[in-house]
Amino acid sequence: MTDGYRRRQYLKGAGATSLGVLGALAGCTRGGSSSDGGSSSSGSSDGSSGGSGDSSGGGSDGGSSSSEELPIPLSEYDSADIDWQQFEGDQINIGAVQHPWVQAIKPAIPVFEELTGIDVQWNILPENQFRTKRQTDASTGAGQFDVFFMDQVVNQFRNEGWLQPLDPYFNDESLYDESFYKPNDLFESSRWQAHGGGYSDNWTGLPITVEVQTQFYRQDLYDKHDLEVAETWQQHRENAKVIDENEDVAGTSGRGQKGYGMNIYILNTFLRQKGTSLWSDFPNDSGLDTQGVIEAAEYYTSLLQDYGPDGASTQTWSDVQAAMAEGQTGHIVADANMFWGGLTNDESNVADTVQIAKVPKPEGGELNPNAFNWQISTSTNAQNSEQGFLFMLWATSPPTDLWINTESSGVFSVRQSTWENDDYISKVGEDYAQVSLESLKASAPDPFDRKYPEWGQRYSEELQRAITGQKPAEKAMKDAAATAEDIYSG
């Protein structure tokens, strides 16, 4: 393969990938940084306009609507002992990121409007602009959004008193029915993250999407070199070495760019699999200078330095996905399962050969991939929080979740029952469903404490320095530990 050919192919692939995945992997966890597009969702959006800018979720004029025309029959919600109509005629404003979940649920919004008589107004923004808008709305007490997307800053917002706990609404019999909602059907990790990742006893929001880390590899190269799917770090390293040394592509690829949703999103899995955790004694000991963390950092940095692409330290998740889709790397060591759609669609050069597997774990370690959830929350100053809670409940309820993920374009259900549903499995493919489900069951999200964005950024900078070779991984992790602890002691 000539360099010229590779370059053209890369550019074509990068462009196509950016366009194709702009939506689906907007949900891919990130932080403080890149506004790259990404991709992945398979399937269409059922005609929903996933566009940008402010847009209405459709009229609430029930005159022309009937249950027969609705995507989800209203009878699906009959079993709920909830007074759906108590806020008839009201309106809620939803602040949302341009995200595949929005695309997937929009066609079902008339169902909610018909069911409750509440009109839904969307305020959809690109992620970075949304973060700014959300912060302004919450911190100034403007309360424009009744419901809004929430991510790694959940405890930061909660600590500032900007976020409203949902427990009072769960305790309101007219708003909540446990037998209908089935909260235990939500993945344990999703429920845990919705409780502030262990930092709150209260619901801080309801999870809407989950992505879990998986491994992607090229079957053609594995067949050619008689390689086995890696279950351990050592096997993965050896496979990467064989491919790197014998093929004109990088052995492996992974996020190297700094940002609290970038390189450390990968490393946090590895360090957990080594039996260590972040903040072994919060807020005194970050745990970042323990032997397990150092070994995890050494594994990841040396893997990228030895068998990753040149300049791996600057790779974002979209660079990683583009490299894989273009056939420029043998593996993605551990990244969001939602890459699957972008790697197997028509734009991918490796669609016929790419395979998905669970992330490798260290010898003697346990599978413990990272799971990231987007959730929707309501602020302390929201004008219509009760109405917003009804929306959250409806949007994440079993019938709506199943519809989003089987009939619409969703591939990111937070409910275990959906992942086990035959229609869903046939839609997303057995490999994707099985690997994702098993990974989700074993997964754990990062505990986003209230200063996670701040010390996470510094921790990611140190890891990036190690990947670049500016300092050894051990020194980088020790410096990261000192910085994180200093931030809490200060």
Partner 1 sequence: MSTPTQTETTNKHGVAKLRDLWNDYLPYWFVAPMVLVMVMITFFPGAYDLYLSLIEEPTVNIFAAEFVGLENFETAFTRGGAFHSFVITVTVVVSALLLESLLGFFLAALVAGVESGRAKAFYRVLFILPMAVAPVSLATIGRLMLNTEVGIIPYVINTATPFAAPAFLSDLPLLTVILLDTWNWTPFMFIIFYAGLSSVPDTLVEASRVDGAPLWRRYIHVIIPYMKPVVFVATLIRMIDLFRTFGVVYGLTQGGPGTATQLVSINIYEQMFINNQIGVAAAIAVVYLVFVIAIANIVIAKVGFEGVWD
Minimum CB–partner distance for residue 262 and partner 1 (Å):
9
Looking at beta carbons only, is 333 or 442 nearer to partner 1? 333
* DSSP-derived 3-state class of residue 255: coil
Within 8 A by CB and 6+ apart from 457, the residues are 31, 32, 258, 259, 260
Minimum CB–partner distance for residue 449 and partner 1 (Å):
13
Looking at beta carbons only, is 160 or 185 nearer to partner 1? 160
50 neighbors 102 (Cβ within 8 angstroms): yes
Question: Mind giving me the DSSP string for 323-378?
Answer: HHHTT-BSEEEEEETTHHHHHHSTT-TTTTTEEEEPPPB-TT-----BEEEEEEE-
Looking at beta carbons only, is 247 or 438 nearer to partner 1? 247
CA distance 46 to 58: 15
Minimum CB–partner distance for residue 121 and partner 1 (Å):
25
Looking at beta carbons only, is 31 or 330 nearer to partner 1? 31
Minimum CB–partner distance for residue 56 and partner 1 (Å):
28
Minimum CB–partner distance for residue 253 and partner 1 (Å):
10
Minimum CB–partner distance for residue 342 and partner 1 (Å):
18
Burial (CB count <10 Å: 0-12, 13-18, 19+), residue 104: buried
Looking at beta carbons only, is 73 or 311 nearer to partner 1? 311
CA distance 182 to 253: 39
Looking at beta carbons only, is 62 or 311 nearer to partner 1? 311
Encoded amino acid at 128, one letter = N
* DSSP-derived 3-state class of residue 377: strand
**CA 217 to the chain's CA centroid:** 21
Question: Mind giving me the DSSP string for 130-182?
Answer: HHHHHHHHHHTT----SEEEE-TTHHHHHHHT-B--SHHHHT-TTT--HHHH-
Looking at beta carbons only, is 66 or 284 nearer to partner 1? 284
| R_g of the chain computed on alpha carbons | 22
Give the residues across from 119 on adjacent strands.
91
Minimum CB–partner distance for residue 314 and partner 1 (Å):
5
Footprint on this chain of partner 1 (rule: CB under 8 A): 3, 6-7, 10-11, 14, 31-34, 128, 131-132, 135, 139-141, 153, 156, 160, 250, 257-260, 309-314, 323, 328, 451, 453-454, 457, 461-462, 464-465, 467-468, 470, 483, 486-487, 490
CA distance 457 to 93: 31
Minimum CB–partner distance for residue 264 and partner 1 (Å):
13
CA distance 13 to 19: 10
Looking at beta carbons only, is 441 or 475 nearer to partner 1? 475
Give the residues across from 376 on adjacent strands.
149, 206
DSSP state of 359: P
Looking at beta carbons only, is 69 or 310 nearer to partner 1? 310
Minimum CB–partner distance for residue 287 and partner 1 (Å):
19
CA distance 138 to 100: 24
Q: What angle do CA 321, 23, 467 make, to 5 degrees?
A: 30
Looking at beta carbons only, is 44 or 52 nearer to partner 1? 52
Minimum CB–partner distance for residue 22 and partner 1 (Å):
14
Instruction: Estimate the share of the chain in helix, then strand, then coil, as percent rounded to the nearest 5.
Output: 50, 15, 40
